[in-house]
Amino acid sequence: MANPTMIFVNLPVSNLAHATAFYEAIGATKNPQFSDDTASCMVISETIFVMLLTHDKFRQFTPKKIADARTTSEVLVCLSAANRDASTAT
């Protein structure tokens, strides 16, 4: 049997602690094995992860300018939930 496809969504964040707390509040767990003071690996499921990266860390992976989220769209991420209550459970 083939290994399942894993999805890693890499996001630049201006405040790593606040972004980590947000993802924890919506039910993700932080994987300390792949987290440090420049990145938080947030586990959404066995196959889906959100990598929250400081801007300096994100710049190590691309020479392109980081989008200003206040004025442009960089990525759309949609997560399903059984209902609105399930999406806000902590």
Contacts for 42 with CB less than 8 Å, ≥ 6 apart: 20, 23, 24, 28, 29, 30, 31, 49, 50, 51, 52
Residue-level pLDDT at 35:
97
Residue-level pLDDT at 70:
84
Mean pLDDT score, 12-33? 97
Q: Is the pLDDT of residue 3 over 80?
A: no
Contact criterion met (CB below 8 Å) for 41 and 51: yes
Contact criterion met (CB below 8 Å) for 45 and 9: no
Tens of pLDDT, residue by residue over 27-76, are 999 999 999 999 999 999 999 999 999 999 999 999 999 988 889 887 76
CATH 3.90.550.10 fits 7-88, yes or no: no
